[in-house]
């Protein structure tokens, strides 16, 4: 089943940019599987949700976790004869629908282990060496500036989720906060390492910018 989903994902995600395309969801699936080995959860649900979580991202950020996107994913899973004996199809939908929930802990809702692992894996892929690459790739695509050492601070109240003001600024408004948002212990450890690498990168960026090294 996972192979069938992977095959369809290559076709479906062909229009997504590389930060949300097949190469991203494959990394998320690999990370999610590593987390699952330590934290538990259903293997098939986690793998399927990982490959399909950005199914409709090319149609917009809000759309991809909305009900229309969920209908499309449900229809594709049904076509693939995804097993739905114990509610696993709806568990996939549920994980995808909630993976972007930013106030995950504060929301007061109980999200499934599978959803928590998907969210951790998706956020880990925005961190570390891959995260740095994705950040500047996305910034360039959005025609945002690269940024300067002056951007090495948070923006105030006027910042909204999804907004990028420069590549360098994006670390301070989003990427450096991700390590504190992990749901599982295993992901928290990976996040710490990836976070430290980004901090090291930014320290170097500043020194190189100033011609010091
Ligand atoms: Fe997403
Ligand atoms: Fe994603």
**Angle, to 10 degrees, between the axis of helix 22-39 and the axis of helix 113-124?**
130
pLDDT tens readout for residues 29-59: 999 999 999 999 999 999 999 999 999 888 8
% the chain with pLDDT above 70: 92
Average of per-residue pLDDT across 128-155: 93
How far is residue 111 from each of residues 95, 99, 157, 186, measured CA to CA in Å? 8, 9, 28, 17
- Please determine, for residue 104, whether its predicted confidence score (pLDDT) is greater than 60: no
Length of the chain: 213
Pick the range with the lowest mean pLDDT from 58-67, 173-182, 196-205: 58-67
Task: Give the 3-state secondary structure of residue 9.
Answer: helix
How many angstroms does the Cα of residue 93 sit away from the middle of ligand 2?
15
For the chain, give me the number of helices (H) and strands (E)?
A: 9, 0
Q: For each of the domains in the chain, give its residue range(s) and CATH number, in order of start.
A: 1-105 (1.10.472.50), 126-213 (1.20.58.1910)
- Distance, CA of 155 to CA of 165 (rounded, Å): 9
Ligand nearest to the CA of 66: 1
Q: Looking at residue 108, what is its pLDDT?
A: 61
Write the burial class of residue 212 (CB in 10 Å: 0-12 exposed, 13-18 middle, 19+ buried): exposed
How many angstroms does the Cα of residue 53 sit away from the middle of ligand 1?
6
Q: What pTM, to 2 d.p., does this model score?
A: 0.92
pLDDT tens readout for residues 146-161: 999 999 987 666 666 6
Q: Looking at residue 153, what is its pLDDT?
A: 80
Ligand nearest to the CA of 27: 2
How many angstroms does the Cα of residue 15 sit away from the middle of ligand 1?
15
Q: Are 198 and 171 contacting, i.e. CB atoms less than 8 angstroms apart? A: yes
């Amino acid at each position: 089943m996972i192979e069938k989903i992977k095959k369809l994902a290559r076709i479906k995600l062909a229009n997504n940019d590389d930060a949300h395309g097949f190469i991203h969801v494959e990394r998320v699936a690999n990370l999610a599987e590593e987390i699952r080995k330590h934290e538990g959860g259903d293997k098939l649900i986690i793998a399927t949700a990982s490959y399909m979580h950005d199914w409709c991202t090319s149609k917009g950020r809000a759309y991809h976790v909305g009900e229309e996107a969920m209908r499309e994913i449900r229809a594709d899973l049904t076509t693939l004869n995804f097993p739905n004996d114990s509610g696993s199809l709806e568990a996939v939908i549920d994980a995808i629908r909630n993976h972007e929930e930013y106030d995950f802990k504060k929301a007061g809702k109980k999200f499934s282990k599978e959803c928590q692992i998907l969210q951790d894996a998706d956020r880990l892929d925005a961190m570390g060496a891959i995260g740095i690459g994705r950040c500047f790739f996305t910034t360039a695509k959005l025609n945002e500036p690269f940024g300067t050492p002056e951007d090495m601070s948070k923006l105030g109240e006027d910042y909204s989720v999804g907004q990028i003001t420069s590549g360098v600024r994006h670390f301070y408004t989003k990427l450096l906060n991700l390590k504190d948002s992990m749901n599982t212990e295993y992901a928290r450890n990976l996040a710490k390492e990836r976070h430290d690498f980004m901090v090291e990168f930014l320290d170097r960026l500043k020194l190189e910018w100033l011609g010091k090294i």
